[in-house]
Amino acid sequence: MRTASRLLPLCFLLGLVFGQRRGSPPSPYLEADRKLFVEVEKNNELMANLEYLCDMIGPRLTGSDKLRRANQWTLEKFKQYGLENCRLESWTMANGWARGSASARIVEPVAHPITIASAGWAPSTHGPVRGPLLYVKAERPEDLEKYKGQMRGRVVITTAPARLAAPTAPQPERPFSALDALEGERGREDQNIPFGERTRIRRLMNETFQKEGVVALLRDSSKEHGLLNMSGVGGATYQIAGVPTGYIIHEDYARLWRLLQRNQPVEIEIDIRNQVVPGPIEVHNTLAVIPGREKAEEIVLVGGHLDSWDLGSGATDNGTGTAVVLEAARAIRAAGLQPQRTIRFALFTGEEQGLVGSREYLKAHQDELDRVQGVVIHDTGTGKVKSFALQNRYDLREALDKIVEPLREAGLEELSLRRMGGSDHLPFAEAGVPAFLGIQDPAEYRKTHHSQSDTFDKVRTDDLVQGAKVVAALAWNLSEYPEKLPRKKMDPPRRSTP
């Protein structure tokens, strides 16, 4: 009874709020949005498309044959759904790269196998190499000076193990953003160093390691229960790194660290065999449009990235986003809706190596950026879309509140002013275009992200249907909003202090 009595005031307040909404004039977007909700709910092809993409095509590493197959398949899907001006828009990369075998083991003080995967665009070791393990800690460029002359023939690590949540003290998952993915997992010892500065130091480290003769570099996968992680070391220019680099499971990385803390000499053997494909190599973004009515020259851009890392099948990163973009296009066409502004659908590539495809798109479409009403990106897994990040754009809040009001029927909650990076909305936000990345339920994204567990069976059907409803309706509402959304280049990031 006490619980029920406490709920009465809350229910009364909620009744007032929703009563006010019922008493307000209906949203001009509500009728069309409900058509889209019904179309997606009853006739969606989300799981069929995603299963084909994951199991029949597979992981889609940038520059690979599988990515080319995915480009062609999504192009045909857009055509099948009745879109216009369906095309592949090309850009080039300096080098292709194909994963080969990788193995590692502790030789001394006690033999133990290490679970390892080569980082992307890392070179081969050209056969097994051995070396003593060395921890190099450098938060500033000058920190590297004390290690010079000590690194030749060594296997190097550069961070302490990630501080993952202990099994006896579980930490609630918060919504996981693409920025988290780009900047690293929880508990990094250098987390207070701004991302740009960390990137610069890492680049200098790698140059120094190559000059000093380091034989291999090992990174912590920072995931629990034997899951690997993956990233590239060739940068957005697709150069081959100077030092063979591998990600090893957290459990093995923590073991190496404990041995070093005992002042125990540790010797490692590593064998990495990759294939480099000299470029230039042509890569494509897949594009298609639903033409607009009165304001056809203005554009709403709806996108996600088609490429993936290659340990799993790229299901939640970002097969889910690809499936949502295809479904939004299908649903708007199938519902018989003709938008006021042109809606362009874009499946970018090269996202995993530094948002390369979306930045190349931006270069190719500079002359139309002022005509882009907004950009909507889906790219943080299978979880429900609960909000959208406004990138600290308070000036957009009033307009966006009106635009998203009907989406509450599909489960959207309050908009967030949160600034998020690490996905294809970012180049547009930096250029001043209103650009929104969905904030989603975590749905184990920290585990599946970039790991061998990123497979079709991890996808939640109902959540993906909800996300497709929200993205399709938001695209439509942006196309119909009578005013042009204001431009404002994103503020530079606040620098953290170590």
CA distances (Å), origin 372, targets 2, 187, 343, 468:
54, 38, 10, 21
Q: Tell me the C-alpha distance between 123 and 6, whole Å.
A: 63
- Give the CA distances from residue 387 to residues 75, 247, 298, 378, 384, in Å, rounded to whole numbers and listed in that order: 29, 33, 25, 11, 9
- Write the DSSP symbol of residue 237: T
Q: Is 404 within 8 Å of 30 (Cβ atoms)? A: no
Task: Name the CATH topology of 28-96+279-480.
Answer: Aminopeptidase (3.40.630)
Contacts of 361 (CB under 8 A, 6+ apart): 89, 285, 346, 348
Angle at 19 between CA 13 and CA 25, to 5 degrees: 140
Cβ contact 105:268 at 8 Å: yes
Asked whether 491 and 414 are in contact (CB, 8 A), the reply is no
Is residue 64 within 8 Å of 70, Cβ to Cβ? Answer: no
| 8 Å CB contact between 222 and 85 | no
Contact 140, 201 (CB under 8 A): yes
Residue 39 CB-half CA count within 13 A: 22
- Going 131 to 203 to 62 to 94, the CA torsion angle's sign is negative
Contact call for residues 394 and 20 (beta carbons, < 8 A): no
User: Which pLDDT does position 20 carry in this prediction?
Assistant: 41
H-assigned helices in 213-308: 250-261
What tokens appear for 156 in the block?
């190097």
Looking at the structure, give the CATH architecture of the domain made up of residues 100-273.
Answer: 3-Layer(bba) Sandwich (3.50)
Measured in residues, the chain has a length of: 498
77 to 63, 287, 308, 327, 436: CA distances (angstroms)? 21, 11, 19, 10, 25
Compute the distance between CA of residue 94 and CA of residue 63 in angstroms, rounded to an integer.
10
Q: What is the pLDDT of residue 142?
A: 87
Place of tokens 């010079």: 148
C-alpha dist (Å) from residue 261 to 110, 266, 298: 16, 11, 60
d(C-alpha 424, C-alpha 272), whole Å: 31
User: For the stretch 196-217, what's the b/e string if a residue is b when 16 or more beta carbons lie within 10 angstroms of its beta carbon?
Assistant: eebeebeeebbebbeebebbbb
pLDDT of residue 5: 38
pLDDT in tens, the chain (498 residues): 333 334 434 443 333 343 345 556 788 999 999 999 999 999 999 999 999 999 999 999 999 999 999 999 999 999 999 999 999 999 999 999 999 999 999 999 999 999 999 999 999 999 999 999 999 998 888 899 999 999 999 999 999 999 986 554 444 444 444 444 433 444 455 555 665 677 778 888 889 999 999 999 999 999 999 999 999 999 999 999 999 999 999 999 999 999 999 998 999 999 999 999 999 999 999 999 999 999 999 999 999 999 999 999 999 999 999 999 999 999 999 999 999 999 999 999 999 999 999 999 999 999 999 999 999 999 999 999 999 999 999 999 999 999 999 999 999 999 999 999 999 999 999 999 999 999 999 999 999 999 999 999 999 999 999 999 999 999 999 999 999 999 988 766 554 332
Residue 175's identity, in one-letter code, is: P
Tokens of 61: 């590493």
pTM, two decimals, is: 0.90
Token pair for residue 317?
């990163």
Residue 351 and residue 377: Cα distance in Å, rounded? 12
Note if the bond before 109 is cis, omega within 30 degrees: yes
Residue 247 is inside which H or E element, if any?
strand 245-248
CATH 3.40.630.10 domain locations along the chain: 28-96+279-480
Distance from C-alpha of 242 to C-alpha of 237, rounded to nearest angstrom:
14
Kindly state the tokens that stand for 36: 């889209």
Numbered ranges of CATH 3.50.30.30 in the chain: 100-273
Q: What distance in Å separates the CA atoms of residue 353 and residue 197, rounded to the nearest whole number?
A: 18
